[in-house]
Amino acid sequence: MFAEVIVDISSGSVDKIFDYDISGFDVTEGYRVYVPFGNMRVEGFIIRTKNESNLEKSKIKSIIGAVDDFPCITKEMIELMHHMVKLYHLRYIDVLRLFIPSEMRSGRVKSLSKKILKFVGNKQKIEEILRKNAKKQIELLNFLQNDVKYYKSELNEKYSSVAVNKFIENGYLIESDEKYLRTPNYNVVSDKKVVHTDIQNRAIENILNNTHKTSLLFGVTGSGKTEVYMSVIEQVITKGKTAIMLVPEISLTPQVLSNFKARFGDEVAILHSGLSVGERFDEWKRIRFGEAKIVVGARSAIFAPLVNLGVIIIDEEHEQSYNSESNPRYITKDIAEFRKEYNGCPLVLGSATPSLESFNKAETGQYNLIEMPVRINGKEMPKIQIVDMLGEIRMGNTGIFSRTLLYELDNCFKNKKQAMLFINRRGFSSFMRCIDCGYVAKCSDCDVSLVYHKDEDKLKCHYCGKRYRALTVCPNCKSTRIRQGAVGTQKIVEDIHRLYPEVSVFRMDNDTTRIKNGHQKILAEFAKTTPAVLVGTQMIAKGHDFKDVTLVGIIDADQSLYQSDFKSVERTFELITQMAGRSGRNDSEGKVILQTYAPRHYCYKFIANYNYKGFYSKEINLRETAKFPPFTKIIRLLFTGENEELVKELVKKNYEGIQKLAGECEDKFVYIDAMKSPITRIQKKYRYQILIRIKQDDSQSIIDKIYNTCDKYQNPKVSFFVEINPSSLT
């Protein structure tokens, strides 16, 4: 017997299928195996077995053995691998690595067993023997009971290993091994059983009956979508099938996790970045062995090795984080579509602010549209008030808070309530600038402005993390008049402290949440403190449900509006609408203050009226006129390398190749240009790109031709990536 093997080495030159002999080994498709490769022993994945090989028998080496005692890649995932390699122009091995916990490779994590102890002595007799001053041993003896299992590590900790070992030596405690799985702890609440509304019942039925088309569940925040998802999953499980539910990493809040645990108990496995290496591995194994039938997780949970899928749900489907933006690049919805087709199950995309692309598909009949237009408790959405910040400046207020916002903050704190202040930037301020010559401090490796972090008094590069001394003297003109640019989270925290010393302030951004469970700790503290303010970046915009929040302040709404890509307005609409949804979720009325320097921008009118469909119509027309997605596909070919000349030369060759291709395919290409990337250098690597827009119809065959063209001109010193409809072009 022979096997086709992909070896676990990430290099373009060995990303091929190799034949090995597996005669005499008990392995099949999907197993990981050790194979001889050159003069090394490496791990590999069997992707197919066969009776014959086209190679000469004497040239085929035998595998060395199996890595695991089970096939860790399912048949479905092997097909998915082929699909992804073709769709995104990826290496086999880079795709396969997505399918198993990274820690499994090279045996970096193992299954665990724990030492357990059982007490078998006679308490009275032992007590007589023990010396009176053996305090720990006496305590231990008092604690122990017959027929109870104790973990050795726990007893050691409480009663000292000396005491425990004495008991083992004397035969009072019998030691044995127990295999165990590291399952994360959740604070399980009791399951809230609710009676579904008619709208919910219709949505559930509609989803379950649609295995053909993908469903778009368009429901305002608080319309009861989560309850719909849970009921759909419940029904699917009852039929003996399995389910995947994806949520953005940021929304994997303790609340969500405990709700799922409460409803589904051990049948649910949860995958998120807060898990330890061992926990992730063990959760993955529970899924692979069919012990967990429901997987709730962030993006990569779409690769969960469940078989017999009954439903796939992608909540907050508009979230950018569903696209992987580093190698291997992939679009989660594409993967979900593949698995939906393979399993013949429903796929649901849910959102209060669907991506324009998805809503367009619903409008044109490619998706099945399900609407949930009202909140469960029948409450109105909080009122959004737009404040013109230029007007504030004219009135002499140059601070970061408008008078309206200050007035509302006063009110909020007086009533012992909570506020959330949103700013799309962490750190103290955006940059430091010399006001005499205009010099701005930049990262020497990345060519982006550095951000000032006051707590450390350092400038930091947000792309590579490098730190620099804060500017006091301009290196360009020696002036000492250095000013900070626009504000960030730290500056707001500082101002609130000064204005409201009695109010508790919490900050949530990439800096404060870096530690394990950082998010959860901050959120838990905030939830039980009044009056209080939570200041944060977009991390605080999504999913949270705090009953005492009655005020949301958006400090500078325009920041996301002026990013230079075609999605920036869509993103602003979505972000602010989501943020507004955090206010007034309980009995008290909520308010939203939106500060802007461009109050007449069309998007704010739609935001203030919660008019998604109005916004959609306006924006989709603009896209059509300008030939942007969803009417075209954007393809970015990104070239990076330390030698700028080499990168440029290669870009030129590829550009000419694409030009030629465009000539051959007549009117399929809408736009081709080659340029420096907006961020010209990251971690010492120069970045150039070719941007292409092609017409939507027949796009995959054009993309294949582009891949073929680019394959002709490559250079090992220059990295080359392809992105289809990238959500940001930095």
Chain residues binding Zn ion by CB under 5 A are 434, 436-437, 439, 443, 445-446, 461, 463-464, 466, 474, 476-477, 479
**Which of 539, 545, 549, 612 is closest to 577 using CA atoms?**
612
**Distance separating alpha carbons of residues 284 and 181, to the nearest angstrom:** 10
Residue 474 partner contact from ligand ADP, Zn ion, none using kind-dependent CB cut-offs of 5 to 8 Å: Zn ion
In the complex, the smallest distance separating the C-beta of residue 181 from ligand ADP, rounded to whole angstroms, is: 30
Cβ burial of 168 (10 Å; 0-12, 13-18, 19+) is middle
Residue 225 partner contact from ligand ADP, Zn ion, none using kind-dependent CB cut-offs of 5 to 8 Å: ligand ADP
Nearer to ligand ADP, 224 or 657 (CB): 224
In terms of DSSP H, where are the helices of 530-600? 568-580
Residue 376 partner contact from Zn ion, ligand ADP, none using kind-dependent CB cut-offs of 5 to 8 Å: ligand ADP
Is the backbone peptide bond immediately before 726 cis, with ω within 30 degrees of 0? no
Backbone CA torsion sign across 399, 403, 408, 410: positive
Which range, of 173-181, 217-225, 240-248, 644-652, touches ligand ADP by CB under 6 A?
217-225
Residue 479 partner contact from ligand ADP, Zn ion, none using kind-dependent CB cut-offs of 5 to 8 Å: Zn ion
C-alpha distance from residue 27 to each of 23, 59, 61, 67 (Å): 9, 21, 16, 10
The reply to whether 248 sits near ligand ADP by the rule CB under 6 A is no
In the complex, the smallest distance separating the C-beta of residue 194 from ligand ADP, rounded to whole angstroms, is: 4
Please, what is the Cα angle at 199 between 195 and 204, to 5 degrees? Answer: 80
Coil, strand or helix at 498: helix
**Distance separating alpha carbons of residues 719 and 49, to the nearest angstrom:** 33
**Distance separating alpha carbons of residues 292 and 283, to the nearest angstrom:** 8
Residue 434 partner contact from Zn ion, ligand ADP, none using kind-dependent CB cut-offs of 5 to 8 Å: Zn ion
In the complex, the smallest distance separating the C-beta of residue 230 from ligand ADP, rounded to whole angstroms, is: 8
The reply to whether 194 sits near ligand ADP by the rule CB under 6 A is yes
In the complex, the smallest distance separating the C-beta of residue 296 from ligand ADP, rounded to whole angstroms, is: 14
The reply to whether 583 sits near ligand ADP by the rule CB under 6 A is no
Output the DSSP codes for 501-538: TTSEEEEESTTTT-STTHHHHHHHHHHT-SSEEEEESG
Q: For residues 362-377, b (16+ Cβ closer than 10 Å) or e, as one string? A: bbeeebbbbebebbbe
**Distance separating alpha carbons of residues 212 and 210, to the nearest angstrom:** 5
In the complex, the smallest distance separating the C-beta of residue 160 from Zn ion, rounded to whole angstroms, is: 50
In the complex, the smallest distance separating the C-beta of residue 684 from Zn ion, rounded to whole angstroms, is: 9
Residue 388 partner contact from Zn ion, ligand ADP, none using kind-dependent CB cut-offs of 5 to 8 Å: none
Backbone angles phi, psi at 714, to 5 degrees: -130, 160
In the complex, the smallest distance separating the C-beta of residue 445 from ligand ADP, rounded to whole angstroms, is: 42
**Distance separating alpha carbons of residues 208 and 356, to the nearest angstrom:** 24
In the complex, the smallest distance separating the C-beta of residue 116 from ligand ADP, rounded to whole angstroms, is: 40
In the complex, the smallest distance separating the C-beta of residue 635 from Zn ion, rounded to whole angstroms, is: 27
- Which member of 43, 227, 279, 570 binds ligand ADP (CB under 6 A)? 227
Pairing mode of beta strands 591-596, 383-388: parallel
Coil, strand or helix at 707: helix
In the complex, the smallest distance separating the C-beta of residue 231 from ligand ADP, rounded to whole angstroms, is: 9
Nearer to ligand ADP, 195 or 515 (CB): 195
- Which member of 121, 219, 531, 584 binds ligand ADP (CB under 6 A)? 219
Nearer to ligand ADP, 225 or 633 (CB): 225
In the complex, the smallest distance separating the C-beta of residue 243 from ligand ADP, rounded to whole angstroms, is: 17
Nearer to Zn ion, 5 or 482 (CB): 482
Residue 524 partner contact from ligand ADP, Zn ion, none using kind-dependent CB cut-offs of 5 to 8 Å: none
Residue 445 partner contact from Zn ion, ligand ADP, none using kind-dependent CB cut-offs of 5 to 8 Å: Zn ion
The reply to whether 200 sits near ligand ADP by the rule CB under 6 A is yes
Nearer to ligand ADP, 552 or 694 (CB): 552
Residue 227 partner contact from ligand ADP, Zn ion, none using kind-dependent CB cut-offs of 5 to 8 Å: ligand ADP
C-alpha distance from residue 680 to each of 142, 324, 363, 468, 674 (Å): 69, 21, 39, 20, 13
Contact 206, 302 (CB under 8 A): no
C-alpha distance from residue 254 to each of 217, 249, 593, 639, 721 (Å): 24, 12, 28, 40, 36
The reply to whether 223 sits near ligand ADP by the rule CB under 6 A is yes
Encoding tokens for residue 634? 């954007």
Nearer to ligand ADP, 488 or 543 (CB): 543
The enclosing H or E element of 724 equals strand 719-724
Which range, of 119-127, 134-142, 192-200, 399-407, touches ligand ADP by CB under 6 A?
192-200
- Which member of 32, 152, 225, 272 binds ligand ADP (CB under 6 A)? 225
Contact 51, 33 (CB under 8 A): no
Count of positions on this chain that bind ligand ADP (CB under 6 A): 15
Encoding tokens for residue 588? 């008290």
Which range, of 37-45, 215-223, 277-285, 362-370, touches ligand ADP by CB under 6 A?
215-223
In the complex, the smallest distance separating the C-beta of residue 128 from ligand ADP, rounded to whole angstroms, is: 59
| Residues β-bridged to residue 422 | 536, 554
| Residues β-bridged to residue 688 | 639, 676
In the complex, the smallest distance separating the C-beta of residue 379 from ligand ADP, rounded to whole angstroms, is: 10
In the complex, the smallest distance separating the C-beta of residue 682 from Zn ion, rounded to whole angstroms, is: 7
- Which member of 49, 197, 411, 520 binds ligand ADP (CB under 6 A)? 197
The reply to whether 10 sits near ligand ADP by the rule CB under 6 A is no
| Residues within window 530-559 making contact with ligand ADP, judged by CB under 6 A | none
Q: Which residue type occupies 609?
A: N
In the complex, the smallest distance separating the C-beta of residue 477 from Zn ion, rounded to whole angstroms, is: 3
Residue 437 partner contact from Zn ion, ligand ADP, none using kind-dependent CB cut-offs of 5 to 8 Å: Zn ion
Backbone CA torsion sign across 217, 223, 227, 231: negative
Helix, strand, coil abundance in the chain, percent, nearest 5: 35, 25, 40
- Which member of 226, 323, 538, 654 binds ligand ADP (CB under 6 A)? 226
Q: Which residue type occupies 672?
A: I
Residue 219 partner contact from ligand ADP, Zn ion, none using kind-dependent CB cut-offs of 5 to 8 Å: ligand ADP
- Which member of 57, 131, 132, 192 binds ligand ADP (CB under 6 A)? 192
The reply to whether 577 sits near ligand ADP by the rule CB under 6 A is no
Q: Max alpha carbon distance in the chain (Å)?
A: 98
The reply to whether 222 sits near ligand ADP by the rule CB under 6 A is yes
- Which member of 182, 196, 379, 521 binds ligand ADP (CB under 6 A)? 196
Is the backbone peptide bond immediately before 678 cis, with ω within 30 degrees of 0? no
| Residues within window 665-684 making contact with ligand ADP, judged by CB under 6 A | none
Phi-psi group of 610: left, alpha or beta (phi > 0 → left; psi -120 to 50 → alpha; rest → beta): left
The reply to whether 221 sits near ligand ADP by the rule CB under 6 A is yes
In sequence order, the 6+-apart residues with CB closer than 8 A to the CB of 497 are: 505
The reply to whether 174 sits near ligand ADP by the rule CB under 6 A is no
Task: Specify the residue for token string 């088309």.
Answer: 213
Overall residue count recorded for the chain in this entry: 730
Phi-psi group of 645: left, alpha or beta (phi > 0 → left; psi -120 to 50 → alpha; rest → beta): alpha
Encoding tokens for residue 541? 């915009």
Residue 191 partner contact from ligand ADP, Zn ion, none using kind-dependent CB cut-offs of 5 to 8 Å: none
Residue 223 partner contact from Zn ion, ligand ADP, none using kind-dependent CB cut-offs of 5 to 8 Å: ligand ADP
| Residues within window 372-411 making contact with ligand ADP, judged by CB under 6 A | 376
Summarize as ranges the residues that interact with ligand ADP (CB under 6 A). Answer: 192, 194-197, 200, 219, 221-227, 376
